[in-house]
Structure 1
Amino acid sequence: MDWEDAGMTPTTAPVTIRTDRLVLRTYRSGDHQDLLTFYGRSDVCRYLFNAPWSPEDAREAVQTRMSRRDLAAGAVALVVEYEGRVVGSMSAWLVEESGCTAETAHTAEVGWAFSPEFGGRGFATEAVAALFDLVFATPRLRRVVAEMDARNESSARLARRIGMRREAHFRQNAWIKNEWTDTVVFAMLRSEWHSNA
């Protein structure tokens, strides 16, 4: 992985992360058009909180995510590019734990979405591995979690491929899109990531 920090350090938020095939970077204003190609699909949004995006939804989401550039300060949001095309998006944000504030949190939650058009090539695994490198470059963070709809088998497989373990299964704990849904939680400790890397 290659960090291009442009005045930032790997423990804040790099402007660009390069993997073997991908470029992960913070959001830019024109990203809404590329993101709409998959966030506008009902199959992509089936297990997400949001309905398929409209063009206005895409513009608003990009505007919000453009400010998420520093995990140490709260959150980082990245798009994933392959050969100049946005093929996915990922985020990491600090989780307030018992006895901790956002400023002293030791856990980050991660989330992702990828275009089905580029599925089956290992891009999601490669991108999420780079995201974990970024998260664990923040010295105080010792744990990463990912929560997802229990029916979202593709995300669960990705979490397992990265080396996360399933820690919990909450029955009908979330009211999403007019139905009660189950949530599963995957997690990994910093020490486990180093042993997987």
Structure 2
Amino acid sequence: MNTDTFALTPRLTLRLHRESDLDRLVAIHSHPGVARYLLEDPWTQEAGKAQLERRLRRSGLADPAGALALVIEREGSLIGTVSLWRTEQEPRTVEVGWTLDPEHGGKGYASEAVTTSLRIAFEHQDVHRVLAQMDARNTASARLATRVGMRQEAHHRQDYWSKGEWTDSLIFAMLADERPSQS
């Protein structure tokens, strides 16, 4: 296992970001089907460099950044990302977010990566709750959150101004005593 590898699943490697990930990250985050649901505009090379710099510093929930940004690899190819970060309101609450290259969708890779990231979050004994917030139009992410055992707690109507329109937000969460079992 490489020193930047955080977790291995039967089909995936979750590892820290590398400088060499830039082009694949930009390709995924500039894809219209992905960028539509993200808070920021589709990535350019310049925006991707800035995002990658931030992600390179996010190497653990216990670190000063209080965040862990991981790449999802399948057979050595970067197919997505999953991130965990402590919320400002409550340090024992962690938020999770993910992106996946649409070409790799529908094969269970995102479920595998998110389930593993939930286990990573709950390995920190002080993490009580993990939540995921998403654009309500992103039905694939909502199904994923449900599939990994998160419970929908809220549907906020037109609560976020995004890319020229009001959008709804969904909030899913899981408590430590609901954590995924090892399989």
The 8 Å contact of residues 5 and 13 in structure 2, kept in 1 or not, is answered as no
Other-structure match for 1:144: 130
**Separation of aligned partners in 1, 2:46 and 2:8:** 30
Trace 1:23-34 onto structure 2 (pairs within 5 A). Answer: 23-34=13-24
- Identify which range, 31-40 or 124-133, moves more after superposition: 31-40
SS at match of 2:73: strand
Three-state SS of the structure 2 residue aligned to 1:151 is coil
Equivalent residue runs for 1:81-100 within 5 Å: 81-97=73-89, 100=90
Q: Counterpart of 1:64 in structure 2: which amino acid? A: R
Match of 2:168 in 1: 182
Distance 1:76 1:196 in 2: 21
Runs of 4+ that moved beyond 4 A = 194-197
Residue of structure 2 equivalent to 1:9? none
CA deviation map 1:1-22 (0-9, x unaligned): xxx595xxxxxxx743111010
42, 62, 84: which one aligns with 1:52: 42
Report the Cα distance in structure 1 between the residues aligned to 2:176 and 2:76, rounded to whole angstroms.
32
Distance in 1 (alpha carbons) for counterparts of 2:6 and 2:178: 25
The Cα offsets for residues 50-90 of structure 1, whole Å up to 9 and x where unpaired, read as 11111111122111100000112310000000011100011
Deviations 1:84-108 (A, max 9, x none): 11000111100133xx5xxxx1110
Mean alpha-carbon deviation: is it higher for 47-56 or for 76-85? Answer: 47-56
The amino acid that maps onto 2:155 is H
Query: What are the ranges of 5 or more consecutive residues in structure 2 without an aligned counterpart?
Result: none
Does residue 1:111 correspond to 2:97, yes or no? yes
Aligned-residue identity in percent: 44
Q: Which amino acid aligns with 2:159?
A: N
Letter in 1 for 2:24: D
- Does 2:70 correspond to 1:78? yes
Q: Distance in 1 between matches of 2:75 and 2:2?
A: 21
- Cα root mean square deviation, aligned: 1.7
- Aligned to 1:128, the other structure's residue is in SS state helix
Report the Cα distance in structure 1 between the residues aligned to 2:45 and 2:54, rounded to whole angstroms. Answer: 14
Q: Secondary structure at the match of 1:170?
A: strand
Aligned mates of 1:125, 1:42 — CA distance in 2: 22
Partner of 2:59: 69
The letter for the 2-side match of 1:81 is E
Q: TM-score, normalised by structure 1?
A: 0.87
Given residue 52 of structure 1, which amino acid in structure 2 is its aligned partner?
P
Kept in 1: contact 2:28–2:101 (CA 8 A): yes
> Alignment partner for residue 145 of structure 2, among 152, 159, 177?
159
Unpaired segments ≥5 residues, structure 1: 7-13
